[in-house]
Structure 1
Amino acid sequence: MMNQVMRSAPNSSTEKEMIAMAEEELARLQRQLRIMEDDRMAFSDETSSKLEKQRRIIELLRKEKAKLCEDINVATCKNQKRKDKRLSKEIYKLLEVYEEYCERVRVEKEEIVEMDVQIKKLESDIKNLRPKSSVTENHFQTRLTSGQKTLQILKNRLDNMVKKFCAILATNKELREEINHLLKERNHFNDVWEKLLKDIHSGKRYMVDLIEQATIAFDQREEWCSKLDALKKRAEVDFVLHSEEMREIQRRLDQYMTLREFLCVKGQKRILKDLEEKERLKKEMQQQNLEDQLEVYETTLKKIQVFCKEEDVDRIAALFLKQEEENFALFNYVNELSHEIESLTYVMDELHEKIDDQIELSNERAKQRQSTISSLQVDLDEATKKAEEDEQEVQKAADNLQKVLNGIEKVFEIVNCDKGPILKLLGENASINLFNVKIYLGTIEKKLSGIITDLYFAEKSMLSHPKKIKTVLSPH
Structure 2
Amino acid sequence: MPRGRSATSVHSDSSEMDFDGIAETEIGKLQRQFRIMEGDRQAYSIQSQEILRKQRSEIPLHAQHCTSHTQSWELTLQEELEQERRSQTEKGEVSASSTQQSLVRHTRKATCTLENKLDRALVRFNQQLTRNRHLREELETLRVERLRFQQLYHKLDKVRLQEVRREAGDVISTSTAAYDARLEAQSKMMMMKEKAVKDLAQYSSEVKELERVITHERHLREFMTTKSKERSNRGNTQELIRRQELKAQQRADSGEESMETLEDVFQRIQKVTEEEDLEKLVNRFLQVEDKNFALFNYVNEQNTQAETLRDEISQIKEEMERFRVEGVRQVEEHHMALKQVEEQQREAESHALEYEAQANIIGKVLDQIKTGVNSIFIKINCDHAMVDDWLDSSSRIRDSSIMSYLSLVEQRTSQLLTLQAFLNSKDLEKDYDPKMVAQCLLGQNPELQKETAVIREDNDSEESLFTDEDDRPLTQEELRQRIMNIVRNTYWKKQKCFI
How does the TM-score come out when normalised to structure 2? 0.35
Q: Which has the higher contact order (CA 8 A, sep 6+)?
A: 2
How does the TM-score come out when normalised to structure 1? 0.36
